Amino acid sequence: MDVVRRVKHYSGRKKVGHGGTLDPIATGVIPVCLGQATRMMEYLVDGGKEYRGVVELGVHTDTYDSAGQVVTTADASGVTA
């Protein structure tokens, strides 16, 4: 909603819609539509999405994500496909 508020403020438009949200530590694109184009939003968000990530095996953080402090590490060399 921060993006929508900023777009409304800077564009002077009242009708602004977005096509989803991002996790606070994620990067990516948020589709934003203005005015009558907000009617097209349903078609934009129904499209396919692709996610990419990096997994580091053997690392445990206090928040269970990359934002936390590392609590323990373990040898993950024995993990196979």
Catalytic residues: 23
At 64 the three-state DSSP class reads: coil
* DSSP code, position 36: G
Q: Which of 77, 76, 59 is nearest to 68 (CA)?
A: 59
At 33 the three-state DSSP class reads: strand
